[in-house]
Amino acid sequence: MPALTDNYTTSEHITETKTRLVNVHYLIDIPQPVSSSIVVSFSRAAGINQRALNLLLLYKDLKDNWDEDGGKEPSDSALKTATELTLLLEKHGQKVYHTAPGPNGEIMLDLRNNEKNKSLEIVIYANRAVSVLFPENGKPTQQTFDFHNLPELIQWLNEKN
């Protein structure tokens, strides 16, 4: 069963702290309980990308001219893809350093390595996405992004020089 569960888990990890079980019986003039219930409560631990996910939710409320310079509201498809990517990155332990909306309705995800000497920006438009690699030394490079090349990009970001 754990193998099936892992394929369907979200970014939020549920920890069973402060769990309470309550069994309540109400008796009227009959010897059997009228109702009973069990209440189980879980506390939710915030994931490493919770801040990024919260920002993406806020970006859904942006309207045209949100930046007072003609910026277009973020497209639904860009927001959906950015959210899915952020959840996937969290599941694999990769922190999203920052997210930002762009003037053409795009969403940018900024990923950095632990030393913060390399970064990877993934810019998600309504119908395409690009990745920009910023090496420690040298010129940034841009390429078309899709989910198939994500493992190579993450490996590049986190490899030691």
Band (pLDDT 50/70/90 cuts) for residue 160 is: confident
Helices (H) and strands (E) in the chain, counts: 4, 7
Hey, what amino acid is at 74?
A: P
Residue 18 lies in a domain: no
pTM of the full structure: 0.71
Residue 107 lies in a domain: yes
What is the residue-wise DSSP string for 60-84? TT--TTTTSS-PBPPPHHHHHHHHH
Q: pLDDT, tens digit, for every residue of 53-62?
A: 999 999 999 9
List the one residue out of 97, 93, 100 whose CA is nearest residue 120.
97
Sequence-distant (≥ 6) Cβ neighbours of residue 140 within 8 angstroms: 132, 133, 134
**What pLDDT was estimated at residue 56?**
97
**What pLDDT was estimated at residue 74?**
97
Number of domains in the chain: 1
Please state, in angstroms and as integers, the Cα–Cα distance from residue 97 to each residue in 52, 90, 116, following that order.
8, 11, 10
Q: pLDDT, tens digit, for every residue of 100-128?
A: 999 999 999 999 999 889 999 999 999 99
Q: Which domain holds residue 115?
A: 48-158
Residue 113 lies in a domain: yes
Task: Round to whole Å and give the CA distance between 85 and 88.
Answer: 5
Task: Round to whole Å and give the CA distance between 154 and 112.
Answer: 10
What is the residue-wise DSSP string for 18-42? S---------SSSSS-S--------
Residue 37 lies in a domain: no
Residue 103 lies in a domain: yes
Specify the CATH number for the domain of residue 117.
Answer: 3.10.450
Two structure tokens written together for 128: 């395409």
Residue 9 lies in a domain: no
Residue 116 lies in a domain: yes
